[in-house]
Structure 1
Amino acid sequence: MNNELDILQKDLEIFEAMVAEVNDYLMSESTDWTMSRGDMPKLTLGGCLMRCHRLSAVRSSLPLELQARIEAACTRLQVAMSGDGKTIRFEHRAHQEMRLRLREWGRHLRDMSSRAMARPEQYASVVDTRVVIELLLQRLSQPQFRLDPDLKEELAALDKHLQGRWQPGSFVWPAVWQPAYPAGTYWWLYGQIKQA
């Protein structure tokens, strides 16, 4: 559990740092944002949504102090994404990011035709792109937004390509995240690319 708690605490630290800068990021024209702390990943809406989603899913099993920090960070993210014209800005930025992530995921799938990229550890290192796409899609499918139907069609085509080479199996990420990603919705986190 100690290793799992370390993973959760590190993810929460990253999420809190992202949320602290998300308002400035949303007002910028940058698709990704270099964080003021150099040891952090780039800030993206999808990265924020992914961390809020998975930390919220495991929140009840954590110490009260961590539960409160997760709730506070998710609330700050929600406030940054809604109200006073922020909804329109969020929708625009989320569509931009989703287009970029779909291109990135398509490149990953093409690269996986090589044996090296099809290795389970390599797949696990890039599948966060597909997770972010799913969370952006879920958010943009809410009534206050208008999802570009072309994005949904493009994702369906990429998923069909992956399903043709997919072998169901074990969860590809650390087990601590599994409660956040049920196999029915996140099937591409449970298995591996079939070797050619």
Structure 2
Amino acid sequence: MGRRSDHTRDELEALILDAAQQLMEEVGFARFSAREVAKRIGYSVGTVMHVFGSVDALVLEINTRTFILWAQWLEERLAEARGSERIRALVEGYFDFASQRSNLWSAIYEHRLPETMAMPEDLARRRSGLMAIVEREVTIVLPEAQHGEAARLSRSLVATVHGHCSFALGGSFALMGETEPLAMAMARVVEVLRAHGADLDSEDAGGPAA
């Protein structure tokens, strides 16, 4: 493994982030350690802190990478979808990413910024791409008169899907005897969109409400 003299600061930052993202995916937020990241790349933990300033700043960068990865994940599924089935692709894509990249997904919601630390504008901008995809697709299915509500509606729908997904992955739905959380989430999304005038094909959008 290269040492300090072998890497520029940009190279070192990328090296740390690659190792940190891999570690986060392997062990999850609760067991994540900057010291383990440093060990994996052959540097001291002091070097990691020198580059990122704090563990919180490092986790922010990892989670921002996850947002970008998640956005790419959704776009790949949308590329294969047509018409109102694109809404189904969004909901399924949320569940699929959360279940297949569960540690990365969970870290987004488990990490809490200290009160004294604000989200850097650049990271907020890079993270916004995910929500922009949802808002774009919601706008497409809404009548023009409802386009002004697309942003607010999109946030509400994401919260709805997130809640269903969290209950599914956390085992809460299983305890309730619910066996089809994805279908339930899809039904709620379709109900809300139709209530706002969206013209969704029943089969593509997931059929009648559950």
| TM-score, normalised via structure 2 length | 0.37
| TM-score, normalised via structure 1 length | 0.39
More helix by percentage: 2
Larger Rg: 2
Greater relative contact order (Cα 8 A, min sep 6): structure 1 or 2? 1
More strand by percentage: 1
